[in-house]
């Protein structure tokens, strides 16, 4: 960014400077050239006037006139040529063309009374060709009786122009250097907050404890970046924390049945004469622990599957009434064992677009909990209702209930209110988090209300039509 800034600042400074220099250069040259031309023309006119008055063209030139012309030509570092009306050269200060007849355009035009000027860039000369007029008055420009050609060297003004251009170039280089310094300073000041920010992010990243705030003085945008990065790091830290918790919970949960199995099998292996009854009892216990381990692994696998994107949902329109009836029928033996009555109340037929397997998991877990955490001879009431947008399933029990402060936590992975009881009933602490994930994948919600000793109500709300959101 800094390099771009320097580039922009230099360009915006140097381009107008360069254009200005070009303008000054051409202005300077045209001014010097036109000054010089004017003085040559003035001289030419003065000479023409003198020649016309004295009739020099008609007679042999006097030596002092020749000397005067020679001196003037020398002064101009050039040449003076006099041509008569027949375009024959009568005087040439260089003697080159005396007696010759000129056939070029300029003298012919001069004989018509016109003046021409010509800049010979290759030789660094200017040439003025003007008529020698007689009988000129205010109304009449007069009659041309000859032509005078003046050539003047521009050596001196070219040299002066060159030194002017040189000093301009030096000035330009000086200005460019000043601009560079200014650009360096400005770009440094402008990018400093961003550099400071990136340094601070670097420091905080190395030693982030989830609480540091990334401060960035400077301007609003840098502060916003600092805040955004801060939030992102907080989230990353929270995710990392929950990941670590999850891993340690999983390891702990998986270890518990294994420890029990190890203790049981050790006592059978180490004891020399174990009675057959004890063998049977311990093997039965080992079997139960293996079942438990398998259940935890199964639940974990369901959870992992639910963590995947909603793009993998297997959506179809199904009857929720039928689904609930099937689940209730499947769980009936579990309820009957403890004399629990199950009632299903449905207000209307509900068809909804859902992933049947995942939604079954939700209601199976909830109804199973309503039985597991119920009192013997209790009741489980399941009701289904819908409006134009959602369907609602309410699962109500007359069980032990959940203390208010625990209600928010029962959806956490491995969270159990009463560890011993949950273990007794074969719980893994994963059922409700599986249910919650599945509900969220359907863009629904799940809530709990409960009074300890009275019972709990779990309410699930799910949209009737599934909307796939592309992430």
- Judged by beta carbon, residue 152 or residue 433, the one nearer ligand ADP is 433
* Minimal distance, residue 271 CB to ligand ADP, in Å: 34
The DSSP annotation for 357-376 comes to: HHHHHHHHHHHHHHHHTSPT
**What does residue 321 show for φ and ψ, rounded to 5 degrees?**
-60, -50
Smaller CB distance to ligand ADP: residue 17 or 448?
A: 448
Separation of alpha carbons 58 and 46, rounded Å: 18
Contacts of 67 (CB under 8 A, 6+ apart): none
Q: Rounded to the nearest 5 degrees, what angle is found at the Cα of 458, between the Cα atoms of 457 and 464?
A: 135
Q: How far is the CB of 299 from ligand ADP (least distance, A)?
A: 8
Provide the token pair at 247.
């891993």
CB of 406 to ligand ADP, least distance (A): 7
445 close to 460: Cβ distance less than 8 angstroms: yes
Minimum CB separation of residue 419 from ligand ADP in Å reads 8
The least CB distance from residue 217 to ligand ADP, in Å, is 48
How far apart CA 309 and CA 65 sit, in angstroms, is 110
> If you ran DSSP here, which 8-state letter would residue 62 be given?
P
CB of 302 to ligand ADP, least distance (A): 12
3-state secondary structure 126-187: EEEEEEEEECCCCCCCCEEEEEEEEEEECHHHHHHHHHHHHHHHHHHHHHHHHHHHHHHHHH
Length of the chain: 471
| Residue 173 exposed, middle or buried by CB count within 10 Å (0-12, 13-18, 19+) | exposed
Q: What is the closest distance, in whole angstroms, from the C-beta atom of residue 407 to ligand ADP in the complex?
A: 9
Alpha-carbon span 200 to 209, nearest angstrom: 14
* Side-chain half-sphere CA neighbours of 304 within 13 A: 9
User: What residues line the site for ligand ADP (CB under 6 A)?
Assistant: 365, 369-370, 373, 397, 399-402, 410, 415-418, 422, 427-433, 456
Between residues 117 and 449, which has the closer beta carbon with respect to ligand ADP?
Answer: 449
106 vs 368 by CB, closer to ligand ADP? 368
Q: How many CB atoms lie within 10 A of CB 125?
A: 18
Crossing angle for the helix pair 320-337 and 356-372, to the nearest 10 degrees: 30
Closest CB to ligand ADP among residues 266, 424: 424
Comparison of 82 and 335: residue with beta carbon closer to ligand ADP:
335
Residue 10 exposure: Cα atoms within 13 Å on the Cβ side: 16
Nearest CB to ligand ADP, comparing residues 81 and 324? 324
Find where tokens 């998991």 sit: 361
Question: Least distance from C-beta 339 to ligand ADP, angstroms?
Answer: 17
Q: Provide, rounded to whole angstroms, the least separation between the CB of residue 287 and ligand ADP.
A: 20
Given a contact cutoff of 8 angstroms between Cβ atoms, the answer to whether 423 and 433 are in contact is no
Cβ proximity to ligand ADP: between 78 and 427 the closer is 427
Nearer to ligand ADP, 32 or 249 (CB): 249
Q: Which is nearer to ligand ADP, 394 or 416 (CB)?
A: 416
In three-state secondary structure terms, 70 is helix
Question: CA distances (Å), 448 to each of 164, 441, 445, in order?
Answer: 90, 19, 10
373 vs 466, beta carbon nearer ligand ADP: 373
Kindly state the smallest distance separating residue 369's Cβ from ligand ADP, in Å: 3
């Amino acid at each position: 960014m800094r390099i771009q800034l320097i580039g922009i600042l230099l360009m915006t400074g140097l381009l107008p400077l360069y254009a200005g220099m070009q303008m000054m250069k051409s202005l300077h040259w045209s001014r010097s050239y036109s000054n010089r031309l004017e003085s040559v023309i003035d001289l030419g006119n003065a000479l023409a006037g003198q020649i016309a008055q004295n009739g020099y063209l008609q007679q042999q030139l006097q030596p002092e006139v020749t000397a005067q012309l020679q001196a003037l030509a020398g002064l101009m570092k050039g040449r003076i040529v006099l041509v008569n009306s027949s375009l024959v050269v009568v005087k040439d200060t260089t003697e080159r063309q005396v007696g010759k007849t000129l056939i070029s355009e300029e003298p012919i035009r001069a004989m018509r009374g016109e003046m021409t000027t010509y800049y010979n860039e290759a030789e660094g000369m200017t040439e003025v060709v003007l008529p020698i007029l007689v009988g000129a008055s205010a109304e009449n420009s007069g009659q041309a009786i000859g032509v005078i050609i003046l050539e003047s060297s521009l050596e001196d003004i070219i040299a002066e122009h060159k030194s002017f251009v040189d000093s301009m170039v030096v000035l330009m280089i000086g200005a460019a250097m000043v601009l560079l310094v200014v650009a360096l300073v400005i770009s440094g000041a402008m990018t400093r907050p961003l550099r400071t920010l990136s340094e601070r992010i670097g420091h905080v990243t190395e030693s982030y404890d989830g609480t540091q705030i990334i401060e960035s003085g400077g301007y609003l945008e840098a502060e916003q970046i600092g805040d955004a990065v801060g939030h992102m790091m907080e989230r990353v830290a929270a995710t990392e924390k929950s990941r670590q918790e999850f891993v340690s919970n999983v390891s702990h949960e998986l270890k518990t049945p294994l420890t029990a199995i190890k203790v049981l099998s050790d006592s059978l292996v180490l004891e020399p004469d174990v009675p057959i009854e004890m063998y049977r009892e311990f093997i039965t216990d080992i079997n139960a622990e293996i079942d438990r381990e398998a259940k935890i692994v199964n639940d974990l696998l369901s959870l992992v599957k639910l963590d995947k994107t909603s793009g993998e949902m297997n959506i179809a329109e199904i009857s929720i009434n039928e689904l609930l009836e099937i689940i209730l029928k499947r769980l009936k033996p579990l309820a009957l064992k403890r004399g629990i009555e199950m009632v299903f109340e449905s207000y209307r037929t509900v068809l909804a677009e859902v992933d049947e397997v995942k939604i079954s998991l939700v209601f199976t877990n909830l109804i199973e909990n309503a039985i597991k955490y119920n009192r013997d001879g209790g009741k489980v009431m399941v009701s289904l209702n819908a409006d134009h947008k959602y369907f609602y399933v309410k699962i109500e029990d007359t069980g032990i209930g959940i203390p208010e402060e625990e209600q928010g936590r029962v959806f956490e992975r491995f969270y159990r209110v009463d560890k011993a009881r949950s273990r007794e009933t074969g719980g893994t602490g994963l059922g409700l988090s599986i249910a919650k994930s599945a509900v969220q994948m359907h863009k629904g919600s799940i809530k709990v209300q409960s009074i300890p000793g009275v019972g709990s109500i779990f309410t699930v709300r799910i949209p009737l039509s599934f909307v796939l959101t592309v992430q």
